[in-house]
């Protein structure tokens, strides 16, 4: 039986997840979800305490593929997802940022949203992200971004979901059926599309500080 993972999106930059060019990737942040979610599982991000108003749906994806950081970095198909910090906002938030010289070497981190303000590697973000060496990918998703719709109250009631700072909540597919039934027709109408820019796209040049738990 598949599972449905729901979490509160703290910052919607287009970095985690990265929904561009017909693919939605979760390569950074949320190591607990990246560790547990399997192909066929849903991952759904809602606005929370840092993105008011809360309980709007930022994105929804079904995991259709997984890989690891080294293969993500080395695959030609994913080269365009590497960050370019003097590029467009989409390039600024590239999430293909971790690789190693050899499988036993330390992780290298590209100049990215998770680097220090001067572009140097951030040990705290590196340790947090690479604790789980998995990248989750989807070609069955919809990214609402700044057009994020509010979840209907009957769905929230059915899930007993409230504005919650916890890491995530996991539901069985049966428990979350009201939510996925609401999402599926929208994905069918707009398959693998970005309906609007990320909510925080104007801050795509900033970095996330693990030490201060905020963008700087």
Q: What is the mean pLDDT of the chain?
A: 95
Cα 146 to chain center, whole Å?
15
Whether 144 and 187 have beta carbons less than 8 Å apart is answered as no
**pLDDT confidence of 163, banded at 50, 70, 90?**
low
Three-class DSSP category at 70: helix
Tokens of 116: 């220090």
Mean pLDDT across 107-116: 98
pTM here is 0.96
> Is pLDDT of 171 > 70?
yes
* Spans of all domains in the chain: 3-207
């Amino acid at each position: 039986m598949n599972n449905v993972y729901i979490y509160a999106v703290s910052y919607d930059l287009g970095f985690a997840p990265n929904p561009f060019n017909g693919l939605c990737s979760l390569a950074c942040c949320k190591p607990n979800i990246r560790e547990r979610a399997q192909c066929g599982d849903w991952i759904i991000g809602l606005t929370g305490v840092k993105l008011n108003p809360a309980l709007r749906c930022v994105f929804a994806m079904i995991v259709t593929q997984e890989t690891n950081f080294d293969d993500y970095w080395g695959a030609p198909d994913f080269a365009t997802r590497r960050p370019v910090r003097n590029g467009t906002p989409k390039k600024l938030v590239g999430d293909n940022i971790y690789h190693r010289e050899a499988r036993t070497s330390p992780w290298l981190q590209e100049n990215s949203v998770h680097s220090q303000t001067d572009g140097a590697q951030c040990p705290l973000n590196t340790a947090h992200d690479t604790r789980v060496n998995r990248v989750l990918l989807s070609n069955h998703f919809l990214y609402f971004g700044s057009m994020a719709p509010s979840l209907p109250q009957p769905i929230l009631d059915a899930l007993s979901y409230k504005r919650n700072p916890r890491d995530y909540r996991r539901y069985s597919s049966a428990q979350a059926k009201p939510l996925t039934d609401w999402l599926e027709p929208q994905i069918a109408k707009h398959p693998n599309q970005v309906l609007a820019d990320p909510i925080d796209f104007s801050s795509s040049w900033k970095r996330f500080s693990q030490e201060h738990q905020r963008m700087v």
